[in-house]
Chain A
Amino acid sequence: MHQLTIAEIIRGLREKQFSSVEITSHLLERIQQLDGQYNSFITVTGEQALREAAAADARLAEGNAPAMCGVPIAHKDIFCTNGVRTSCGSKMLDNFVPPYDATVVDNFLQAGAVSLGKTNMDEFAMGSSNESSYYGPVKNPWDLERVPGGSSGGSAAAVAAQLVPGTTASDTGGSIRQPAALTGTTGLKPTYGRVSRWGMIAFASSLDQGGPIARTAEDAALMLSVMASSDKKDSTCLDRPTQDYTANLKDSIQGLKIGVPKEYFGEGLDSEIGARIQEALRAYEKLGAELVEISLPHSKLAVPAYYVIAPAEASANLSRFDGVRYGYRCENPADLRDLYMRSRGEGFGEEVKRRILVGSYALSAGYYDAYYNKAQQVRRLIKQDFVDAFQKVDVIMGPTAPNPAFKLGEKNADPVAMYLEDIYTIATNLAGLPGMSLPCGFAHNLPVGLQITGNYLDEARMLNVAHQFQQASDWHTKAAPVAE
């Protein structure tokens, strides 16, 4: 039953092949049996899930069930869940039980989905390996000695290990797409503002965007149809009506113009990954698409610009964690300064502290123009590259990550090496564009992700393009070798 996709579960529930309680219990058991080796969940809400599943079954029986009624999912622990601990992967919020739901969580509740729990993540979504979590690293189901990518490593690993058919995740610089690539799953980061950020704990507000990780483009489309909504509580959320992202999945992609940026195939790219991407592009040609070489001349500046802007925003976003109103407070503070210094010094992990310091530096007197302002100027140049490219092509394709899943601890000592993991994904966040990763083969026996970047608000077309590939290939159906 755990092999079923969301689309199949929806059909199965409506055709009464199984109940929501049955599939929910099955997955909860599977999590209990297997997740010890992956550590993909921080919190499992078994009882609550079974209650929700029973309620869903009742609604299904009545015949007026909403779209995802009874479908089990899990939320990245960055989304606030009313009454359920929301840690953001940090000691700082180890004891934090929000009395409110994120809009994304609420949307899934309204759609009748059943939440199995909260998935592991890099602390405050800062990382590309899921090693910075206070709850320990997540292991890649394809090789337990390797990382699943980050920061949505738990969300990706849980889907790859078939513990849950789909998860919510968030992407600030590649945190949906890179773990999707490293675990052979399908992940979508929507256009900035497509999905509400209310209740999604902020890392870098102008870059953060929630999205789904699932096994197929069709499932990602089903999830996005629920996740995306306008929201008056988020000033940056776009006022767009909800839509059915599965409507165009079956459209032909004959004549589709695919931009292939020459900058994405140079130095630093694993050659086997390069080969898999080229094979995927050939497959698209067979489906009737046309390849167009394009240039994104400022793409090498995306990582440096990002590592100014994201830490700068984070340095302010994380100031609220001060040990006063919620979260971790140090023992016996000597005075107010000591309360702040130690609560934050002890409550945050190393990478989070490093980024706060970098952000403080970039914004401080005398450096603002040289760093923050400069990075925001470069950001416009990067966006303009894409605007120019989309004059000529419909989508842009390339590798999601420069290498397959790496070993735990391999890049820990060198933050800059870790940052370069997101070299192909970060520009999309800076520009606010939608991006996807879908499995397109294996390199060194590990999954490889093909990245699709779309124009603003063009998610439906991207999902169509991804779905057509998955209709013609079976990489997305390959399951990680699970030691039962």
Chain B
Amino acid sequence: MEWEVVIGLEVHVQLSTQSKIFSGASTAFGAEPNTQACAVDLAMPGTLPVPNEEAFRYAVMFGLAMNAEIGKRSVFERKNYFYPDLPKGYQTTQLEKPIVGAGKVEIHLEDGSSKTVRLHHAHLEEDAGKSLHEDFHGMSGIDLNRAGTPLIEIVSEPDMRSAAEAVAYLKKIHSIVTYLGISDGDMSQGSLRCDANVSVRLKGEEELGTRAEIKNLNSFRFIEKAIKVEAQRQIDLIEDGGKVVQETRLYDSDKNETRSMRSKEVANDYRYFPCPDLLPVVLTDEYVDIIRGELPELPDAKCARFEKDYGLSAYDADQLTQERATADYFEQVAAKSGEPKLAANWVMGELAALLNREEKSIADSPVSAEHLAGLIARIKDNTISSKIAKQVFEVMANGDGDADAVIEAKGLKQVSDTGAIEKMVDDVIAASGAQVENYRNAAPDKRPKMMGYFVGQIMKASKGQANPQMINKILKDKLDALL
């Protein structure tokens, strides 16, 4: 039997407004508990919500970026349930008339293929506070600073068929919201959170299987692992004659398993109804058009432009455009060095490795775009070889000046002096009698391969600084002269 996994994602993105969605309290992260919870956020009696204009502008930007319909008349509803981090006893959200309707987005997979994932809708809502489970004499502490932070909940259709597709989709959402600048997208701070609806069915089946909802996945890695392990659990269950039950499950990263959240299993009836404290939000076509006109270049458009303008492969262009900061960095390096392909290789190669090693974002890169461009310029003008360039890069990463300063200080300048290289070639030929003999006796088509030995010896002698193109040319001329 061949199984197919079906995945739909609900992604919650915190919008980076200054104030909350329904109150004038600050949304800044990391404040002392409850210092950013005002009377409205605390649901003090008699207080009333007033929606934040910027939250709507951000939601519309997102909708336009997702090629979605914009809800010209959106309505807030109350979702009723009791939880200590939900002060009003209901969450103000949207249901029947969300701000963003159906849309679609293209995702790019590692094998180079692409796929369209449909957006069901996205709606504005308020975030809840936090329950802190450190022990206060057997009690929990409630911090309501986060209560009322604006969120968009982005609900996909069940269009993904593997954990990898789900991750690619989520990365795409991350990329879009950070490009738009509507969220910092920081998963470690909970700015972007994800619930995954996972079901399995036999390949070829039309009908969807019963789904389980995995809650609160807060890293790309966990999402991938959680989906895989949950899909396998469902397959094993069915193959053993069991049945999947529709429920909410929690991913335990330590044990790499999902478990049922029984406390949430009391069949909830959210009793949604339109919030009578709020009026319909009506947006005009002109308003939407203005926002459309102000949208920045989005990942797909940038990717296409990188392919076209810089002659990059589709894969490279996609890699470079996933994060706006990376794309911006690359474009600076490409412009300043005049070598887009080299720039792409360096940004995705050495630079990515360095950032990964030092756990830094590109914004905090120890090597600036300008310095990297300077380094590439020196490769291009043959001042240094690519190999030496890597050494220079490592030194620059320690903050020891730009490429020219490093090359100068360390004497790493490439030897391109014909006389000096001829001397080194002559010395190596003189010292390699046996290899020269072999070369002479070899069939002509084998000879280019045999040059490697001599090149290696010459590079060694020059401490890697000899210009490789010149070595190749002079060496070949000299060896061929011996034939």
Contact = CB atoms under 8 A, between A and B. Distances in A.
Instruction: Give yes or no for direct A-B contact (beta carbon below 8 Å).
Output: yes
Contacts of B90: 316, 319
B277 A205 contact: yes
Contacts of B44: 98, 100, 325-326
Interface stretch (B61-69, B78-86, B252-260): B78-86
A204 B277 CA distance: 9
Interface string A308-322: 000011011011111
Contacts of B49: 235
Nearest to A193: B279
B78 A325 contact: no
B291 interface: no
B78 A316 contact: yes
A325 B273 contact: no
Interface string A14-29: 0000000000000000
B43 A320 contact: yes
Given A235-B277, A236-B277, A363-B273, A319 B46 contact: no
B449 interface: no
Contact of A336 (B42, B48, B84): B84
B239 to A, nearest CB: 34
A315 B39 CA distance: 21
A170 to B, nearest CB: 11
A265 interface: no
A320 B48 CA distance: 13
Contacts of A326: 44-45
Contacts of A201: 45-46
B148 to A, nearest CB: 13
A198 B273 contact: no
B45 A319 contact: no
Interface residues of A, number: 44
Given A316-B90, A325-B42, A235 B273 contact: no
A230 interface: no
Contacts of B42: 325
A96 interface: yes
B366 interface: no
B88 interface: yes
A235 B87 contact: no
A319 B50 contact: no
B273 A316 contact: yes
A197 B464 CA distance: 80
Contact of B48 (A96, A198, A319, A372): A198
A205 B80 contact: no
B216 to A, nearest CB: 19
Given A316-B89, A320-B89, A202 B273 contact: no
Nearest to A339: B84
Contacts of A336: 84
B41 to A, nearest CB: 10
B85 to A, nearest CB: 10
B interface, by DSSP: helix, strand, loop or mixed? Answer: loop
A319 B273 contact: no
Which of B78, B269, B276 has the most A CB atoms < 10 Å from its CB? B276
Contact of A233 (B50, B88, B278): B50
Nearest to A86: B45
A233 B42 CA distance: 15
Nearest to A101: B46
B271 A325 contact: no
A205 B276 contact: yes
A232 B278 CA distance: 12
A364 B269 contact: yes
Interface in A154-202: 197-202
B43 A325 contact: yes
Contacts of A412: none
B47 interface: yes
Interface in B150-165: none
Interface in B251-285: 269, 271-273, 276-279
Contacts of B46: 79-80, 98, 102, 197-202
Interface in A340-365: 340, 360, 363-365
Instruction: Specify which of A88, A316, A324 lies most central, judged by the most chain B CB atoms within 10 Å of its CB.
Output: A316
A368 B80 CA distance: 14
A198 B80 CA distance: 22
A466 to B, nearest CB: 29
A44 to B, nearest CB: 21
Nearest to A92: B45
A203 to B, nearest CB: 11
A163 to B, nearest CB: 25
A336 B80 CA distance: 17
Q: Looking at B39, B42, B49, B82, which has the most chain A CB atoms within 10 Å of its CB?
A: B82
Contact of B142 (A324, A360, A372): A324
B84 A100 contact: no
- Find the residue from A98, A204, A234, A235 having the highest chain B CB count within 10 A: A235
B276 A80 contact: no
Interface centre among A100, A319, A336 (most CB of B within 10 A): A319
A232 B50 contact: yes
Given A313-B276, A363-B271, A364-B269, A319 B47 contact: no
A23 B142 CA distance: 48
B51 interface: yes
Contacts of A99: 39
A206 interface: yes
A236 B277 CA distance: 7
Interface string B289-323: 00000000000000000000000000000000000
A93 interface: yes
Nearest to B46: A199
A319 B88 contact: yes
Interface in A225-252: 232-236
A425 to B, nearest CB: 19
A234 B48 contact: yes
Interface in A90-113: 93, 96, 98-100, 102
Contacts of A98: 44-46
A79 B272 CA distance: 28
A319 B279 contact: no
A364 B42 CA distance: 26
A129 B47 CA distance: 27
A197 B48 contact: yes
Nearest to B279: A235
Contacts of A235: 48-51, 277-279
19 contacts: A80-B45, A98-B44, A98-B45, A100-B39, A199-B46, A201-B45, A204-B276, A232-B50, A236-B279, A312-B273, A313-B273, A315-B80, A316-B80, A316-B271, A320-B89, A324-B84, A325-B87, A326-B44, A364-B269
Closest 5 CB pairs of A and B: A319-B89, A363-B271, A205-B276, A206-B276, A320-B43
Interface of B: 39, 42-51, 78, 80, 82, 84, 87-90, 142, 269, 271-273, 276-279
Given A363-B80, A363-B273, 11 more contacts: A86-B45, A93-B45, A98-B46, A233-B48, A233-B50, A235-B50, A325-B42, A326-B44, A326-B45, A368-B271, A368-B273
